[in-house]
Structure 1
Amino acid sequence: MQKKDRIKLEKQKETQEETQERNRFLKHTLMGIFAFYLVFIVAFYFLTGDQLRYRESGANLEMPEAAAGTVELCQGADVTQYFMTGVQRLESVSVLWGTYYRADSGTATMQLVRADTGEQLMYGQFDVASIPEGGTTTIYAEQPVEGLSNVPLILNITADSQPGMGASPLMGEGTDDFNGLVLNGEETKGFLCISTTGTDYIWQGLHYWQIVSVAGIVLLAVLLLVWHRYGKGKSDSIAAAILAVRQYKFLIKQLVSRDFKVKYKRSVLGVFWSFLNPLLTMIVQYFIFSTLFQSDIEYYPAYLLIGIVSFNFFSEACGMGLTSILGNAGLITKVYMPKYIYPLTRVMSSTVNLVISLIPLVLVSLLTGVHFKKSAVLALYFLACLIVFSLGMVLLLSAAMVFFRDMQFLWNVISMLWMYATPLFYPESIIPENLRFVLKLNPMYHFIKSERTCILGGVSPDPNMYIVCAVIALVMLAIGSFVFKKTQNKFVLYL
């Protein structure tokens, strides 16, 4: 009797210890999630820099096509252009010149002032002899000038050249109405060939800390709710998923290792193929398409490889995940574990290949002259969104495959069409303007374009792109999870 009681007490003690261990694991995981969020928002703020708060203005004046010269700017002559701009932070104004293909001389002066107050905003002097035919001169603000949106501005241009030695600002075709151009005091039809550069404010960036603070409070509330529900013994999907990863950690490692080993079984080069495959694909496509598109795309080899690495991961994850339930039918019918573990491990295995594939991407980028800036780190965010999106697709496809075996053949066709519909080796500029909206319906387009902006452009994408990519990934994950959860209990009937 004492022996039975002792055994019973030992079992109770083991159960209590296991419960305490689960509680600690869940608590530390929830705390880690919130700590990661805090680190992420601070790092994100410094990595994005000014691109978080300002974007290139869509109201910048584009340089009109030159149609004629204005007047030869010499002593006593002047050119004045009245105009307005919607730019919120004006940085510079440029003027296009004609020189009559001769060696001119003298000094040209450009001055930008506010028409309502007479305040001088920008000023610059230029050696007329250094201005080529069809060249431009630009005046810059010491600091971007704010508050000029829809404010009347005056650009005045003069020169001290001798007659016959002066250059001429060019103008575009005018309309029957007065377009603000005044030549030597006389109103003239036409508009001076000028362009402006500047930036506009980004609302999300200006209110970044308020937004992330509210999001942090919401996240904290959700995590506390998860902990509270778990403590009360109530069912909670988030807590269940976290604890399932802990409980089946060993099996997850074994499944990922198995998938990785099976892929390279009896291969001489083994894991090196994860490095070599995207590189060889890039080389082949480079020689095929470089003559068509290289002149239109800067750093074309790196441009090409970013698309290949990203789409290869997506294609491989979906291809492997498609049969994740059918391929593990023996385990599913004999050993209990959450069924979503099987598609999850397939995505994790493909993620390992993705990480290895980033090595040739970095090497090719460096060899082709890409200068990595701090914004390149932000590409990891979009890769994470791509992984989450792929997981959602795998959950959906693996569930569909159980009931519709032709899905594997259908997916081969879909993935091929998807690849050609994504600008991997061609620039999006070749697509007609009226069909560009189709690109925006392609989730892979957003992920890959954002990665290229971070790495090749050296700047952070528009803040809206972070939201768009996150929403796409989470919506796909929600759809895949919903379908998988609703159908998983019927899997054993069709295996």
Structure 2
Amino acid sequence: MSTKAKLGKSHASSALAKDIFILKQLVSKDFKLKYRRSVLGVVWSVLNPLLMMVVMSIVFSYMFGGSVENFPLYLIVGNVTFSLMSDSTNAALWSIIDAAPLLKKVKVDRFVFPVQKVLFALVNFAFSLIAVAFVMLWFRVVPTWHLVMLPVVLVLLMLFCIGIGLAIGSLAVFFRDIIHLWGVIILAWTYLTPIFWDLQLLIDKAAPVWIITLVKVNPMYNYITFMRDIFLWQQVPSATVFGLCCFWAVLALVIGLLIFRKTEHKFILYV
């Protein structure tokens, strides 16, 4: 290996180590800020999904829960998975704009800011899994070996969220309307995704084929189905679900990176 190649490799390793260090510091800072002056602290990350599950179970169990076994567990798994996506992308949406003071003073890889928001949402999701464990214990749902697939679905979902975060975080710098539009998209996405209802309801009511197809190709339907398969139904996700999870992760990441790399050199002029 030539001296030039060795220097290039050393520089790349140094840059990667720097980015990882910055990511750790930013995630730690956000974690401390979120729970600062909070009496219960991280306990809220466990209580929030539990309280939401109780409220939604009371409201929706009579309408949608009759055909779903262990409806509260069905509900909380869907809710925490969708919240991971919505929380991470909503935070990534503001990541570049909020980092303006730092971008103007320090030379740093800009992609760390959207990625950091997604990683921080993942940390909160980890605490939410404690709530899921409580519900499993309450309904006597015994964990099985299928939970070893949890890291797989989380990696795919994180790549999906990072891709979206890079795209909308970049576009929000130039078009602030994206901030308002994304709230509408998330709301519509919530109702399009079977979080508190079951897809079988649409099939039983003979809903148009295009609506059923739209739900099935919905990225969050597939990630939530993957999660419910390993937590609730205790089975290996179908090849279709797994394939669509991979497809959406790769597609979102590629599009996000293309948009980000195309626009990042102009961030400093607009933030």
Superposition TM-score, scaled by structure 2 size: 0.91
Indicate yes or no: 2:207 matched with 1:436: no
User: What is the 5 A alignment of 1:128-277?
Assistant: 232=5, 240=12, 243-277=14-48
Shift of 1:365: 1.4
Question: Secondary structure at 1:456's aligned position in 2?
Answer: helix
Q: Report the equivalent of 2:102.
A: 331
Q: Distance in 1 between matches of 2:105 and 2:172?
A: 20
User: Which amino acid is the alignment partner of residue 5 of structure 2?
Assistant: K
Give the helix-richer structure, 1 or 2.
Answer: 2
1:329-353 deviations in Å (ceiling 9; x for gaps): 0110110010001111111111100
Count residues with an aligned counterpart: 265
Q: Report the equivalent of 1:423.
A: 194
Q: Report the equivalent of 1:450.
A: 226
Q: Distance in 2 between matches of 1:369 and 1:271?
A: 25
Shift of 1:376: 2.4
Question: Secondary structure at 1:322's aligned position in 2?
Answer: helix
User: Which amino acid is the alignment partner of residue 284 of structure 1?
Assistant: V
What is the Cα-based RMSD across aligned positions, in Å?
Answer: 2.1
User: What is the 5 A alignment of 1:311-330?
Assistant: 311-330=82-101
**8 A Cα contact 2:160 2:248, kept in partner:** yes
User: Which amino acid is the alignment partner of residue 330 of structure 1?
Assistant: P
Shift of 1:232: 3.0
Shift of 1:433: 5.6
**8 A Cα contact 2:225 2:241, kept in partner:** no
Indicate yes or no: 2:191 matched with 1:413: no
Q: Report the equivalent of 1:483.
A: 259
Q: Distance in 2 between matches of 1:424 and 1:487?
A: 35
Q: Distance in 2 between matches of 1:436 and 1:379?
A: 26
Shift of 1:379: 3.1
Per the alignment, do residues 475 and 229 of structure 1 end up closer, same or farther by CA in structure 2, a change over 3 Å counting? farther
Residue 71 (structure 2) aligned to one of 283, 286, 300: 300
1:383-417 deviations in Å (ceiling 9; x for gaps): 22111111111101110110011211111111111
User: What is the 5 A alignment of 1:268-417?
Assistant: 268-417=39-188
User: Which amino acid is the alignment partner of residue 334 of structure 1?
Assistant: K
User: Which amino acid is the alignment partner of residue 50 of structure 2?
Assistant: L
Q: Report the equivalent of 1:84.
A: none
**8 A Cα contact 1:229 1:235, kept in partner:** no
Q: Report the equivalent of 1:461.
A: 237
1:44-76 deviations in Å (ceiling 9; x for gaps): xxxxxxxxxxxxxxxxxxxxxxxxxxxxxxxxx
Unaligned runs of 5+ residues in structure 2 are none
Indicate yes or no: 2:248 matched with 1:472: yes
Q: Distance in 1 between matches of 2:2 and 2:82?
A: 40
Q: Distance in 1 between matches of 2:14 and 2:239?
A: 34
Does 375-384 or 321-330 show the bigger shift? 375-384
Unaligned runs of 5+ residues in structure 1 are 1-227
User: Which amino acid is the alignment partner of residue 253 of structure 2?
Assistant: L
Q: Distance in 2 between matches of 1:245 and 1:370?
A: 42
Question: Secondary structure at 1:323's aligned position in 2?
Answer: helix
User: Which amino acid is the alignment partner of residue 75 of structure 2?
Assistant: L
User: Which amino acid is the alignment partner of residue 405 of structure 1?
Assistant: R
User: Which amino acid is the alignment partner of residue 285 of structure 1?
Assistant: M
**8 A Cα contact 1:389 1:472, kept in partner:** yes
**8 A Cα contact 1:301 1:365, kept in partner:** no
Per the alignment, do residues 280 and 230 of structure 1 end up closer, same or farther by CA in structure 2, a change over 3 Å counting? farther
RCO comparison, higher one (Cα < 8 Å, 6+) = 2
Q: Distance in 1 between matches of 2:200 and 2:51?
A: 26
Q: Distance in 1 between matches of 2:68 and 2:7?
A: 56
Q: Distance in 2 between matches of 1:428 and 1:266?
A: 42
**8 A Cα contact 1:299 1:369, kept in partner:** no
- Kindly, what percent of the aligned residue pairs are identical? 37
User: Which amino acid is the alignment partner of residue 339 of structure 1?
Assistant: R
Per the alignment, do residues 464 and 334 of structure 1 end up closer, same or farther by CA in structure 2, a change over 3 Å counting? same
User: Which amino acid is the alignment partner of residue 406 of structure 1?
Assistant: D
Q: Distance in 2 between matches of 1:229 and 1:469?
A: 41
Shift of 1:233: 6.0
Shift of 1:305: 0.5
Structure 1 or 2, whichever has the larger Rg, is 1
Q: Distance in 1 between matches of 2:51 and 2:194?
A: 19
Q: Distance in 2 between matches of 1:446 and 1:230?
A: 48
Q: Report the equivalent of 1:3.
A: none
Per the alignment, do residues 266 and 406 of structure 1 end up closer, same or farther by CA in structure 2, a change over 3 Å counting? farther
1:216-260 deviations in Å (ceiling 9; x for gaps): xxxxxxxxxxxx899736979xx94x6533123332222111112
Per the alignment, do residues 364 and 230 of structure 1 end up closer, same or farther by CA in structure 2, a change over 3 Å counting? farther
